Amino acid sequence: MPTFRALLAAFLTLALFGLGAAPLSSEPHLGPAAAYLPRLVAEGGAPTAALLVRDSSPAPYGTYRSTGPNIRSADRFRAGSLTKTFVATVVLQLAQEGRLRLSDPVERLLPRLVRGHGNDGRRITLRALLSHTSGLYDYTADPSAHPLSGTAAVRVALAHRPTGTPGHYAYSNTNYAVLGLVIQRVTGRDYATEIRDRVITPLRLTGTSFPGARTALPAPHGRAYTRDPADGSLRDVTVLDPRTAGAAGSLISTLDDLNRFYAALLGGRLLAPAQLALMMNTRATRGVYGLGIYPEKLSCGITVWGHNGYITGSHVRTAATRDGRHVLTYRVDTDALTGPGTLEPGLLDAEFCTPRPGRSALAGVPDTP
């Protein structure tokens, strides 16, 4: 599972790891995944938890549920590494437009940026960055570094030798810091502006934004907490400098916006079929990761696609069926969730493997008449 590790030693810690109407109001019945929310609080140690489900087959269905105080469906929160799917979408759009090729080496677009300590941008392609097969050291793993730009983040990484063998999967936030710089070189505009104009505005994701250097969350929002390693208490980290996260994890969003984004992406509204197929091709990583998105096979045999994100004060997970018609996003207001390795698979199983009228639990698509 991808990880988005420590960003700021004392303060900012990152570890990874639709469309149309506003969020649906709470349903009169409890959805299958919603039963896990109290467990995220009681067993996972989260102050609050919430989820939003959208399912457009065989008939529109949706539910918002929350547990704990002061968490609302419209809240803005930090989405961490879900940022990577947005960045990958723009890179694939640029490839679709012929403005770059996934086979391009980094050196061609960013001359002499990736050099030193065994790192060589002449041998690292854009596809390798997207799939985390570049071997570049993860700049967030250096606890002494506080880079405030993509270029600075890359410099931190290049002070270290590669931590993975090029061509083999090794999750690294440096890959997406470089991709943010690639977008700027190709378009002449920063990655946040390109994502806004290509994704956020067309899909009307009104709760989604990039904060730049802004340390506060836009309203409405709740609180965010991290656990103090000294005494185990929860510390409020709602206000933080997000610049270290950059193109690897600085996105702010809402439950509804993330569901709508992944529904649009997997439903073919953002990428042509060839580019979407490339995004979901996991051969280079032996099934672990595609290009900015990854699959997870559930106990009933269905595979869901999406991403997760940890950033100080927040853990988020979006998962969707391959066609994007059934999407779930859940979040908690802390990065200190206990036992996500067992609670999260159970939550996803409950949502995607539990049959509802007209839906096959195994196929994840409507039963045929």
Catalytic sites, residue numbers: 81
Q: Would you tell me how many other CB atoms lie within 10 Å of the CB of residue 213?
A: 8
Round to whole Å and give the CA distance between 71 and 109: 43
Round to whole Å and give the CA distance between 146 and 148: 6
- The amino acid at residue 247 is A
The number of angstroms, rounded, from the C-alpha of 143 to the middle of its chain's C-alpha atoms is: 22
8 Å CB contact between 248 and 4: yes
Closest listed residue to residue 304, CA positions, set 319, 289, 324, 292: 319
DSSP calls for 349-363:
HHHHSS--TTB-TTT
Round to whole Å and give the CA distance between 113 and 119: 10
Round to whole Å and give the CA distance between 44 and 147: 31
Element spanning 94, H or E:
helix 83-96
Round to whole Å and give the CA distance between 54 and 19: 10
8 Å CB contact between 199 and 270: yes
- DSSP E strand boundaries for 197-264: 225-227, 234-236, 252-253
Q: Would you tell me how many other CB atoms lie within 10 Å of the CB of residue 273?
A: 8
Taking the CA atoms of residue 212, residue 214, residue 218 and residue 221 in that order, the dihedral angle to the nearest 10 degrees is: 110
Alpha helices in 132-269 (DSSP H): 150-158, 174-187, 191-195, 246-249, 255-266
8 Å CB contact between 176 and 83: yes
